[in-house]
Amino acid sequence: MNANEILVEVAYALPHEQLIVPIKVNQGITAEEAIRTSGIMNKFPEIDLSVNKIGIFGKLAKTDTPLRHLDRVEIYRPLIADPKEARKQRAAEGKV
């Protein structure tokens, strides 16, 4: 690894499958560029960066965020159910 390169990971997970792709990239690369470079979108064609939110180590980030050495870019799936609504339903079922 030369002085201008950094190591980052790109991660995506489904309920029964996950993939973490480590890649060596040049300093100054953005999160979107790292995602595209990783090839993860070829394995999971449902990923749409205009729809899916991304984060770095669990904190929401924008696609143009520059990455640092050892960052992990995470691609999030849309929620299936509203968490607040699901909690209300579970609470209502418990009262019956």
Q: What is the pLDDT of residues 19-67, one digit of tens each?
A: 999 999 999 999 999 999 999 999 999 999 999 999 999 999 999 999 9
Burial class (CB in 10 A: 0-12, 13-18, 19+), 96: exposed
The domains found in the chain, sorted by start residue, are: 5-95 (3.10.20.30)
Considering the entire predicted model, what is its pTM?
0.80
Alpha-carbon gap, residue 50 to 33, rounded angstroms: 14
